Amino acid sequence: MINNKLISKFNQNLIIGFIGFSFFFDFIDKIDIFYKADFFKFNRALKFFFVLYLVFFNAKFFKYIYMNLRHVVYAFVIISIVFLLKNNYSLLYLNEYIRYVFVLFVFPLLYHTHTHQNLLPKVHSIFKVFIIINAILILIGFIFEIRVFQVYSSQRFGFNGIILSQGVTPYIYLTATILFWFLKDKKMLILTLLLSIVSGVKGVYFAEFVCLSLLVLFSEKNSKGFKIKVIVTLSVFFILSVLIIFSQPTFRNVINSDGLLSALFSNRTDYTLELLNQIKPDNFNILIGAIDLLKVRLELQIIDVVLFFGIIGLLVYFSFFYFIHKEFIKGSVSNIFFFTCLFLSCLSGNLLYIPFASFLFFTMLLCLSKFYSK
């Protein structure tokens, strides 16, 4: 019989290793994208072997998982049945399914590790190293105009260093913000906020503004006057940041041609209307979602879930998040992180779609839960 302490210690190192190698291999992918270097897809290999281990772990500890996380098991089974009912096993649909069920597949590993180990110190260490290295590289990229450290390949301003895409950037910086705030690591918190500002990503600005405003508002240590001053200051910074972004040629063109709403949502509203006109009974079922649609993602999380898994999928993920909140969300910091990420995902998607985003999200939630459970 495998000792729980031993396996959880291994899993702890595996989780930290997965975070670290994901950052590194994402950067290799980013170099490939910007310079067409045609590198080996190390990140795919990392995820492949990680998922293989998840298969082993979930099979080995199925009884333990079912006893403690039957809601997660039921969610995985129902989502899988919905996918099978589509009778569409194209690479596009398989890819969507794997991305969405990753969070259900990995949560038991995170939960088991959380119950036997304290992940917080090591998560703090890996993020501290990452933020410092990324800050140095962003500074170098800004001074010498190195394209690979930018967010966009176009002329739009934004630097996110070794982070692969704008889609995952808000979740990485939001996780770091909550982590350093919770541990009262002021220097790293300030550095993270500076990196957020130079990212040039609307989702980052929105998430950091909401998160920091709520953290200050619900802090028991600060006076009402101080809270008002900080929130007003944050509001001014947020508005100025958005105005600066919208002053760029890319957004001015969108505003002039399609309107402010299209600029705010990066044309997602327009794409949604276009897709609605394409939906027919032979390519979409309200209960199980897309059957034969070619476009199944709009980067609006609720719509994306309904689009691919239908109403059944939406109910499954709603019940899953309700279970997570009921069992693991304790304290104001956890609640703020939980709801900020969910709100952000409703406006820009990617929380359930990008495996690394959901991995960081649930890892951080369980780290916070461990503290509040003491």
Global pTM value: 0.96
Residue 285 belongs to what H/E stretch? Answer: strand 284-285
Whether 365 and 320 have beta carbons less than 8 Å apart is answered as no
Closest by CA to 150, choosing from 30, 36, 253, 263, is: 30
The pLDDT value recorded for residue 325 is 97
User: How many angstroms separate the Cα of 268 from the Cα of each of 102, 298, 331?
Assistant: 25, 6, 34
Calpha distance 358→118 (Å, rounded): 19
The pLDDT value recorded for residue 200 is 95
The residues that bridge with 290 in the sheet, in sequence order, are 284
Calpha distance 14→17 (Å, rounded): 5
- Tens digits of residue pLDDT in 231-251: 999 999 999 999 999 998 888
Residue 15 has pLDDT above 90, yes or no: yes
Residue 324 has pLDDT above 90, yes or no: yes
- Tens digits of residue pLDDT in 27-57: 999 999 999 999 999 999 999 999 999 999 9
What lies within 8 Å, CB to CB, of 125 at 6+ separation is none
What percent of the chain clears pLDDT 90, i.e. is strictly above it? 86
The per-residue pLDDT of the chain, averaged, comes to 94
The pLDDT value recorded for residue 1 is 46
Split at pLDDT 50, 70, 90, the class of 222 is confident
Split at pLDDT 50, 70, 90, the class of 129 is very high
Q: Would you state the structure tokens that stand for residue 96, as one six-digit string?
A: 């969507």
Q: Would you state the structure tokens that stand for residue 209, as one six-digit string?
A: 């503004």
Residue 148 has pLDDT above 70, yes or no: yes
Split at pLDDT 50, 70, 90, the class of 362 is very high
Query: Crossing angle for the helix pair 332-348 and 169-182, nearest 10 degrees?
Result: 170
- Of the listed ranges 56-60, 86-90, 146-150, 245-249, the least confidently predicted one is 245-249
Residue 80 has pLDDT above 60, yes or no: yes
Split at pLDDT 50, 70, 90, the class of 153 is confident
The pLDDT value recorded for residue 322 is 98
Calpha distance 367→162 (Å, rounded): 25
User: How many angstroms separate the Cα of 96 from the Cα of each of 53, 92, 298?
Assistant: 21, 6, 13
How does strand 284-285 pair with strand 289-290?
Answer: antiparallel
Q: Would you state the structure tokens that stand for residue 272, as one six-digit string?
A: 């949604």
Calpha distance 147→143 (Å, rounded): 11
Q: Would you state the structure tokens that stand for residue 137, as one six-digit string?
A: 């590289």
Whether 291 and 283 have beta carbons less than 8 Å apart is answered as yes
Other C-beta atoms lying within 10 Å of the C-beta of residue 263: 21
For residues 293-314, average pLDDT: 96
Calpha distance 104→245 (Å, rounded): 36
For residues 317-329, average pLDDT: 97
Whether 108 and 72 have beta carbons less than 8 Å apart is answered as yes
Residue 359 belongs to what H/E stretch? Answer: helix 355-372
Whether 298 and 271 have beta carbons less than 8 Å apart is answered as yes
Split at pLDDT 50, 70, 90, the class of 373 is low
